[in-house]
Structure 1
Amino acid sequence: MTSDDELRRRLADAFDARARAAFGDHSPVPPPRFATEPARHGHRGWVRVAAPLVAAAAVVAVIVSVALTAGGSRGGRHTAVGGTGSVSHPASHTSAAASTSAPSTPTKPVHITLLNSDGSDYGVGMPVIAYFSKKISNAKALQAATTVTVNGRPAKGAWYFEYSSAKASYPIEGHFRMENYWPANAKIHVGIPAKGLSAGPGLSYDDSLTLDFSTHDRIVSTVDDSTHRMTVTDNGKQYGTFPVSLGASNTPTARGTKVIMEKGRSICMRGPGYHECGVKWTQRLTYGGEYLHSAPWNVSHIRNGVDSSNGCTNLLPSDAQRLYRFLSVGDVVTFPNADGPAMTLGKGYGDWNVNWSTWLTGGLVPTG
């Protein structure tokens, strides 16, 4: 089995390569938490540092540290980033799934690692992100076994799969969500009693996991490229509206729904007429390098509604600082009329751009 150090090296290499091939206001793509943290003795995972980011089909939606600075508390009952897997589902449910789906011949083990961490607090748009150590070919058993409760009440969720840029280490990644955003100010429990279930011919999962996290207020921002304003709402009430400069015609901002992946990463950005390091109040929206951030070099264009960034959402320094303190990983930012290509799952946490009927197919791996 590949060592933890080797897995971390491969993941870091994959994400660095993704970053070099990216477009927009460039900065290195954040690796998944488990790719950058030291192994915790006695556990199969890696310890997490902070909150996400990351996912990624092409890295996908991975990364997320995708988001290493906004996390919650460590520990818990999942093998995500640190912690051993366990489940607490009714025996009838788990045994029924196992009896119909468990392989009867020797199989190769598939290990599941979660990006999310127990005890974390996320915005309502944050998906549950899992990485799979082999190319699974069937997720029907996994879908049937996975459960989710919201404030203790059963809810319906589903998996959707894509390729991950972790490639040899974790070639497949799966995102789990409900049809709509998570409810605000809720306690979410996800049970994944996968151990022993079939992942396709010749494959079976070698671990089971649970995840407990909470959501805060429903904070949704809308960036209108026609008015060059970003409007932020908190549980449906307007929090504020802020002038922005989006991508120039040759480096347009992606259109669609995005989710904040990480905060506070020290980055360098370059574009026509500028090369700035130590850019402040950064909040990542895509793997390729779209951020909400302070742009003191672009104040005139921000105030006058001129799109001139390399794809990022440029904010006045005072507004960027205020929003940095208000927004969190998992909060939703929509770009309904930006000039760029459509936002997709592989460009970041683009889950909400996939309609529910398509989501229920499972994407790359059928869920039945």
Structure 2
Amino acid sequence: MHRTRVFAPAPIRAAVAAALLAPLAACSSGPSPSAPDATPTGRPAGRPVTVTVTPEGREAAPGRPVTVTASHGRLTSVTVTDAEGHRLPGKVTPGGDKWTSERRTAPGTAYTVTAVTRGEGGAAGSTKASFTTVGADKVNKVDWRPGTGTTVGVAQPISLVFDNPVRNRAEVEKQLEVTTSDGTEGSWGWIRDWSGRDRVDWRPKSYWKPGTKVTLNAALNGTDSGPDGGWFVRDYTTAFTVGARQIVEVDLDRHRLALVRDGETVRTIPVSGGTPGGDKRSWRGTAVLMAKEGTINMNSETVGLGDAYDKMVDYSMRLTWSGMYAHAAPWNARYFGNANRSSGCIGMSDADAAWFYRQVRPGDPFEITGKETKGVVDEGNGFGAWNVPWSDWKKKSALR
């Protein structure tokens, strides 16, 4: 550990004693004997303050808090900064003998510690120390949704997908702070993303209230993912606002779609869903609009349906990673409102699709019902967390 002695100024003594103490005073940043808080003549100076900083050296292990302790005195302030001037916040104990950072040290980072002390005799002093943490052998990165500054629908979760496995899930989850403007109740849940990667989503107990402002602060810098995962070397943050309460009700048995806004049906649209009896069936349950992708190429081979189709599709609105969309499907016009004959998507006319595309936003829930479906949307296939009962969802938290 790094130890630096800070000496309180000595009282005025005999010339010989002053000469002996002069070199020691030069090593201290405390005040001179003439300073206002210098020890008065005749008052014992006390033992010198000793400051200890942990970690130390040029190859310190990352992922640990910084501690600063003072012996024979107390700490009045401690500042820990990296090379870019970012501070590690921390607190001094009530007795003033120890300071501990609230954040862990990050890999490959140089830190400077400045500690201001007051000795037993009342004199102030200051000491500096520095250390450097070793770099990360492997770095874990995060892909997160929604993006900052966006306005989302009432079913939008906060979703973090990790490049590498996360074994220290509880440690990671402790660093994820969600703040809402109205105290919304919610919980993190660890799931497997459709891509096969580890993922954690935060969803409210029920749909968001319109107008809610949400902030995520993911203070992950300096957190170890665990075996094969690597270190996080940055923090992440996003802030978004919840828009109007829009729910898309899709009844595949009646072959219709209804846009319901604030409890009122705005418009009903005839649709055609997935063909019954095989892999072309649609999913049921609650799917969440992930993105409005516009005109895209859809190739059935990419979703395991052979060479059934390969065409450009307008007004495409993604509902799952597995390839279920709502979109314009003019080639299926004769089936709108009377039969399900798509390859799994929810198709509608060009005119209806153009209007509907303008109305919806990412985060709007699609509540899909129907007898001839291939099952409920999985929690990791898009944003399927709403298909998990609340009591079960909370159990997916690593901090339950």
Partner of 2:290: 261
Greater share of strand: 2
The two structures, once aligned, show a CA RMSD in angstroms of 3.3
Give the Cα–Cα distance (whole angstroms) in 2 for the partners of residues 223 and 172 of structure 1. Answer: 30
Partner of 1:112: 142
Partner of 1:367: 399
- For structure 2, the 5+ residue unaligned runs are 1-85, 93-99, 105-132
Partner of 1:325: 358
Do residues 141 (structure 1) and 175 (structure 2) align? no
What is the letter of the counterpart of residue 294 of structure 1?
A: A
Write the deviation string for residues 2-24 of structure 1: whole angstroms up to 9, x where unpaired. Answer: xxxxxxxxxxxxxxxxxxxxxxx
Report how far residue 145 of structure 1 moved.
3.6
Do residues 315 (structure 1) and 337 (structure 2) align? no
Is the Cα contact below 8 Å between 2:89 and 2:103 reproduced in 1?
A: no
Write the deviation string for residues 303-349 of structure 1: whole angstroms up to 9, x where unpaired. Answer: 4x111111111112211111011111111101122522221123222
Is the Cα contact below 8 Å between 2:295 and 2:312 reproduced in 1?
A: no
Matches for 1:325-364 after TM superposition, within 5 Å: 325-340=358-373, 341-362=375-396
Q: 1:236 to 1:183 in 2, by over 3 A?
A: same
Write the deviation string for residues 259-308 of structure 1: whole angstroms up to 9, x where unpaired. Answer: 111211412356899746221111111112211111111111114x1111
Write the deviation string for residues 73-116 of structure 1: whole angstroms up to 9, x where unpaired. Answer: xxxxxxxxxxxxx9999989xx89758xxxxx988653333243
Report how far residue 228 of structure 1 moved.
1.4
Partner of 1:177: 203
Partner of 2:248: 221
What is the letter of the counterpart of residue 261 of structure 1?
A: M
Q: 1:198 to 1:272 in 2, by over 3 A?
A: closer
Give the Cα–Cα distance (whole angstroms) in 1 for the partners of residues 371 and 382 of structure 2. Answer: 17
Give the Cα–Cα distance (whole angstroms) in 1 for the partners of residues 144 and 347 of structure 2. Answer: 32
Report how far residue 223 of structure 1 moved.
0.7
Give the Cα–Cα distance (whole angstroms) in 2 for the partners of residues 157 and 88 of structure 1. Answer: 29
- For structure 1, the 5+ residue unaligned runs are 1-85, 100-104
Q: Secondary structure at the match of 2:164?
A: coil
| TM-score normalised per structure 2 | 0.59
Q: 1:186 to 1:160 in 2, by over 3 A?
A: same
Structure index of larger Rg: 2
Greater share of helix: 1
Residue among 221, 235, 238 paired with 2:262 = 235
Q: 1:90 to 1:288 in 2, by over 3 A?
A: farther
Residue among 196, 203, 210 paired with 2:237 = 210
Q: 1:179 to 1:142 in 2, by over 3 A?
A: farther
Residue among 188, 191, 196 paired with 2:222 = 196
Give the Cα–Cα distance (whole angstroms) in 2 for the partners of residues 195 and 125 of structure 1. Answer: 29
Q: Secondary structure at the match of 2:190?
A: strand
Q: 1:284 to 1:87 in 2, by over 3 A?
A: farther
Residue among 207, 212, 219 paired with 1:186 = 212
Equivalent pairs counted in the alignment come to 270
Matches for 1:160-171 after TM superposition, within 5 Å: 160-164=189-193, 171=197
What is the letter of the counterpart of residue 214 of structure 2?
A: I
Give the Cα–Cα distance (whole angstroms) in 2 for the partners of residues 309 and 118 of structure 1. Answer: 35
Q: 1:91 to 1:339 in 2, by over 3 A?
A: farther
Report how far residue 134 of structure 1 moved.
2.5
Give the fraction of aligned pairs with identical amino acids, expressed as a percent.
Answer: 25
